[in-house]
Structure 1
């Protein structure tokens, strides 16, 4: 089979070695905009700087595409339309609509569309899939894909460009983690996603929550900011407390040395898919759907993990209160957040009640006192109140019975607390911190 490669970035060497080691593949053409990269290739393949010229050359039966993510859709479509089978590095596309369109083009042209998910060929992932116990014994599954991204991208700076990559760790590491988990536990449905540690519009951390078709909870942790080393594994937690682990890097001592056998698996599987002819359904669009759903949920949230959205703010107690009541009759405000101006004074009230809806009555209360806020801030449900190194409680809402004079800031505590319980003195400082 005559193979061409389009794109000679950081991942291309693994494809090139796999092609060289496969006795049934012949590298006949290569394309990159950077002529210096082309000149570093060994003699043999015809060299191009325009992928359209490569596709029209008649030199290839199939192509490997390892371009920045935003270029996958147009280049894959052009290859399929040219009658060339395609192996595309994950993710297949940035957007689900493009992935579905490529699947339709492959059907119409009768060509093979194949997304390269290299971790499905990892020896430890395959072993775990083969040895998985009966599903009723599984409590939950966790997949971790942690690394320091700068160690893996070389000169390919597009990974950190949202317009070219489509995002960060969710679209880069996410497809491999999700596909590997699908090989072990089957189809997945996304239930929640939270992103964080955003730098230049690109997330360096994310947590995805999914479920299998039979309800097993699956968590995916993605991290681009590991200080050193890397962690890539799947941990199956069983109901008896034991675990089964597929450490994708175990036994592969060199940096990224696990990739060679995986990319060999890609090329062998691609060759087999082409030989089998039309009818194969590519998994690329399914994973693109999961990634797009994760961004839709994660980007709609106000919260970003590992990123404080506001500064801590201190408040000085200007009047202490020492009483408690179990019939106060405060009312939960409909507002989850309140803006506080610098110099304003508000009343701090502890409660063991748990108001959850506007209008909920709050009766069990303890009074800490009135506090003057040093700087402007936004107080919101979930903020934590600290006294020195002690966590006092968490803001659950506001009562406005004395507004506009002041708010009663309702702070949930395990037991009712007053100024005397905390040994407060006039002039003491308390600090409101964003929930971690």
Structure 2
């Protein structure tokens, strides 16, 4: 981080040069499932991993950003078991070799980290790689993969407009850049017709075998079960362990992607994957940890790193569903970075949240000032005030708790970076 620029410089020239010096490790990988999208790509990655591991496949997984530790970006596959995060010695050795190969040339942090992905995954045996895109698609550093087993495009909405454009069709065109001629494509649920059309048109132009959510495969809840259906038939599964109705479509896209990548998928594998899938800071309920001591007794605490208007809508929908089942006052503790649309995010909660506390983000030059963020929440129709930390906000909520009132529901979110701060404070980093 001290040596290289932290921002994005969307080009493939630098990473291609460095990979060539290292012997092109990206060309020596097992089959790659390449996943892009504005929202849901992390969840789809988690579902793919759970499904493949349920089938006994050694599965390398790349995700970004990390929440607490850099190692979270690299999960090394284990045959017949749960993948493990890369250890210190292996990661340090990999980064030293990359630095030597780069020889002082200009390159960004994310490009270095992506080269580490390819070097690590090419040198450790596995059956498959699940590769999450960092930003966009067309010029993302991961897009040096020329022959993916399948390209997956998850829901597209407005985010990173400075880099990707200010209309969903422009963003869709960037995400569609991971599609490769003649290679299978799976298109997840798309709220915006304009985005859907761009994705389908691109896939057709590249003559990619394409399956589309809602047309070729789907999932819905029925009698407390998840019903998945595609051209191969119907499966009756446990509901996903990840809360929220939006996860049904994410799970469906992952199932269809693993099939499109050429893996046999049984109903038993799917059922086990729904029960074992894990994805920290995506509607994660904090059941233990240090922070619970600061909250009112009996409070529900949910953590979600969603940070754009599209994410706000699905999180708010989940909170409303929780409210239907068990009414509680909803408080929000939020931290966000300055490249996002805070008013658009908060607007989704205008009718359901009691109060918002805004907090700064540690170790981020891009964190929004809590006062500015509180004004954004106010502009979205919410009652809001700045707070010194998540702990101080929890203490303030506890001080307002009346003896005969139901314990509150507390949503902590607005940024994956903020979610990382919270997991670190709670003593529960991802493993």
TM-score of the pair, normalised by structure 2: 0.30
TM-score of the pair, normalised by structure 1: 0.30
Which structure shows the bigger proportion of residues in strand conformation? 1
The higher radius of gyration belongs to 1
Report which structure shows greater RCO (CA 8 Å, sep ≥6): 2
Which structure shows the bigger proportion of residues in helix conformation? 2
